[in-house]
C-alpha cells in the first residue's frame, strides 16, 4: 500500500469583488484546480463546511465580518486548511495580525497569477508531505505490539480488558495506582489503541513543575504575558493536537489551577496566559494519580466537580505484590533490555533468587523490580542472577527454597499464597476466590491439585 499521491487541490475564494473573484476562479480552474467562491464571511463558512478546501484565498476588507475576524472561525471548522490573505490596503500591522491568527501567506492586490500559483503549489506540497508522514506513522504503529503491559495474571488481564473497551472512545480516563505500577504504560496503551494513534501523545507530570510555571506549561502563553515571555508559546493542550494529553499525578494540582482545568474540560477551550482569544482543543485527556482523590475531596484538597469530570472511566493499576505470578515475565523482559543497555549476557534468575523475589512485597512496584535487576546485573559474576546479588532486605523475606527446580518452586509459592489468602478469609473459599481474581471452580481445582484440604 502506498501513501496518497499528490492531487489537484481544492481552492475557496472569499472576496466581495465579484469580477475579481470569478475571474481568479476561472484562471485557477484552467490550471486544473477545483474552485469555489463566496462573496462574504457567512457564505464563505458555508462553502468551507461543504467542500473542505485545501487552500482559502481570503480578502481582508469585506462588508460585515472582515477576513482577519473570519480566520479563527475558518480554523475552528477546518483546522488543516491553509489561508492566503489578500488585500489592496496592506500594512505591516495587518500582515502581522493575519499571521498571528494562523494565515499561511499574504499577497497584495493587484495580484500576479504566477505568484498565487507558486504559493498554492508550495502549500499543496507541504500538505502532501504531512499526509505521507501520517501514513508512515500509522504503518509504524501497526507494526508495534498492541499491548505495552506485561503479565498474564487475572489482575493485569482485567486492566487490558478495560483499556480495550475505553480506547476507541474519546472519554476522559482516570488511572489510579501506587507509584511505579505502570500508570503511564496504561495511558500509552489507551492512546495506541485509539483511532487517533498517529497523533501526538503528550505527557505532563503535574508534580514535577513549580506551581507558578504549571499554568503556562498547560495552557501556553502570549508574548509579553510576564517577564521573560519574549515569544508566543504553545501549551500542552495545543501540542497534543487530536492525540492524547496525559496528566500524571493530577492530585498535585493546586486548587487555583484545578478550577481552570475544570473550565477547560467543560468548554473544551483554553486561554493562553495573557491571551484573550480561546483555543478550542481536541485532545483526549487521560489523568493518573497515586493518591486517593476521594479522600483529597473530603479533605478539601481536590475539587469534587473536577474529580467527577476526570473520573468518567477509571482504571486501577494493581500493585506488583497482588500479581506475583507476573514477576518472572517482567523480570525476563527487563533482563533482555538491560542486557542490551549494559552489554551483558545474563541468561536468567536462578530458582532460589526467583522465589525470594516472588515473596518480596515490592513497595516500589515494577519500577523497583527493574532497579533491583539492574543492580543485580552489575554484581553478577556468572550467567544467572543469584540471591547474593539481591539487596540484603530481600533475604529476610523468605526461607530458602526446598528445590532448585523452577516448576517445583512456582508450585510451592502458589500453594503458600493460596493458603495465606484462605487464612485471611477465615477459610471462606468464595471470598478467597474473589481476592485471588479467579472463579471458585478454578480455586477448588487448585486446592485438589495442590493437596490443600483446609486453610490450616
Is it the case that residue 4 has pLDDT exceeding 60?
no
Residue 454: inside a domain, yes or no? no
Residue 191: inside a domain, yes or no? yes
Question: Cell for 19?
Answer: 469580477
Is it the case that residue 3 has pLDDT exceeding 50?
no
Residue 231: inside a domain, yes or no? yes
Mean pLDDT of 336-355: 90
- Of 330, 317, 329, 267, the residue nearest 287 (C-alpha): 317
Residues 434 and 332 in one domain: yes
Residues 306 and 172 in one domain: yes
- Of 203, 204, 219, 202, the residue nearest 256 (C-alpha): 219
**258 to 218, 300, 307, 312, 438: CA distances (angstroms):** 12, 12, 10, 17, 39
Is it the case that residue 113 has pLDDT exceeding 50?
yes
DSSP lists the bridge partners of residue 285 as 245
d(CA 451, CA 453): 6
User: What is the per-residue pLDDT for 174?
Assistant: 97
Residue 456: inside a domain, yes or no? no
Q: How confident is the model at residue 450 (pLDDT cuts 50, 70, 90)?
A: confident
Residues 129 and 160 in one domain: no
Encode pLDDT of 21-76 as tens digits: 999 999 999 999 999 999 999 999 999 988 889 999 999 989 889 999 999 999 88
**Region of poorest pLDDT, from 60-74, 222-236, 381-395:** 222-236
Residues 77 and 169 in one domain: no
Residues 123 and 195 in one domain: no
Radius of gyration of the CA atoms of the chain, in A: 30
Residue 149: inside a domain, yes or no? no
Please count the structural domains in the chain. 3
Is it the case that residue 454 has pLDDT exceeding 70?
no
Q: What is the domain extent for residue 220?
A: 154-318
pTM above 0.75, yes or no: no
Distance of CA 217 to the CA centre of its chain: 16
Cβ–Cβ under 8 Å, residues 278 and 166: no
| Domain CATH code at residue 44 | 3.40.50.2300
Sort 392 into a burial class: Cβ within 10 Å, 0-12 / 13-18 / 19+: exposed
| Domain CATH code at residue 353 | 1.10.8.60
Residues 359 and 414 in one domain: yes
Amino acid at each position: 500500500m502506498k501513501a496518497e499521491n499528490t492531487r489537484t487541490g481544492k481552492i475557496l475564494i472569499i472576496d466581495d469583488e465579484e469580477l475579481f473573484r470569478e475571474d481568479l476562479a476561472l484562471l485557477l480552474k484552467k490550471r486544473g484546480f477545483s474552485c469555489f467562491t463566496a462573496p462574504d464571511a457567512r457564505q464563505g463558512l458555508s462553502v468551507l463546511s461543504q467542500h473542505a478546501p485545501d487552500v482559502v484565498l481570503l480578502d481582508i476588507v469585506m462588508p460585515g465580518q472582515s477576513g482577519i475576524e473570519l480566520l479563527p472561525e475558518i480554523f475552528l471548522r477546518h483546522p488543516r486548511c491553509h489561508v492566503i490573505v489578500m488585500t489592496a490596503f496592506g500594512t505591516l500591522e495587518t500582515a502581522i495580525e493575519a499571521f498571528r491568527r494562523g494565515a499561511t501567506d499574504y499577497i497584495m492586490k493587484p495580484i500576479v497569477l504566477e505568484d498565487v500559483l507558486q504559493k498554492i503549489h508550495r502549500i499543496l506540497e507541504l500538505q502532501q508531505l504531512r499526509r505521507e508522514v501520517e501514513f508512515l506513522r500509522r504503518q509504524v504503529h501497526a507494526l508495534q505490539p498492541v499491548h505495552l503491559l506485561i503479565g498474564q495474571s487475572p489482575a493485569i488481564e482485567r486492566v487490558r480488558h478495560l483499556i480495550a473497551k475505553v480506547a476507541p472512545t474519546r472519554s476522559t480516563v482516570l488511572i489510579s495506582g501506587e507509584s511505579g505500577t505502570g500508570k503511564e504504560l496504561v495511558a500509552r496503551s489507551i492512546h495506541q489503541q485509539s483511532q487517533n494513534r498517529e497523533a501526538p501523545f503528550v505527557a505532563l507530570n503535574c508534580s514535577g513543575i513549580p506551581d507558578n510555571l504549571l499554568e503556562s506549561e498547560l495552557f501556553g502563553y502570549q508574548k509579553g504575558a510576564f517577564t521573560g515571555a519574549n515569544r508566543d508559546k504553545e501549551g500542552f493542550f495545543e501540542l497534543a493536537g487530536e492525540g492524547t494529553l496525559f496528566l500524571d499525578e493530577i492530585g498535585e494540582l493546586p486548587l487555583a489551577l484545578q478550577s481552570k482545568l475544570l473550565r477547560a474540560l467543560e468548554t473544551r477551550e483554553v486561554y493562553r496566559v495573557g491571551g484573550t482569544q480561546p483555543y478550542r482543543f481536541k485532545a483526549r485527556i487521560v489523568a493518573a494519580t497515586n493518591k486517593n482523590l476521594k479522600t483529597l475531596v473530603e479533605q478539601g484538597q481536590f475539587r469534587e466537580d473536577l474529580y467527577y469530570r476526570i473520573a468518567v472511566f477509571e482504571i486501577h493499576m494493581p500493585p506488583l505484590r497482588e500479581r506475583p505470578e507476573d514477576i518472572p515475565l517482567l523480570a525476563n523482559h527487563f533482563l533482555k533490555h538491560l542486557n542490551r543497555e549494559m552489554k551483558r549476557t545474563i541468561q536468567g534468575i536462578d530458582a532460589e533468587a526467583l522465589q525470594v523475589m516472588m515473596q518480596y512485597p515490592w513497595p516500589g512496584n515494577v519500577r523497583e523490580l527493574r532497579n533491583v535487576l539492574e543492580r543485580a546485573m552489575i554484581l553478577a559474576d556468572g550467567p544467572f542472577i543469584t540471591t547474593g546479588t539481591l539487596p540484603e532486605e530481600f533475604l529476610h523475606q523468605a526461607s530458602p527454597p526446598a528445590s532448585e527446580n523452577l516448576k517445583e518452586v512456582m508450585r510451592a509459592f502458589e500453594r503458600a499464597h493460596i493458603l495465606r489468602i484462605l487464612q485471611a478469609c477465615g477459610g471462606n473459599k468464595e471470598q478467597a476466590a474473589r481476592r485471588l481474581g479467579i472463579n471458585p471452580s478454578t480455586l477448588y481445582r487448585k486446592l485438589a491439585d495442590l493437596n490443600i484440604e483446609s486453610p490450616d
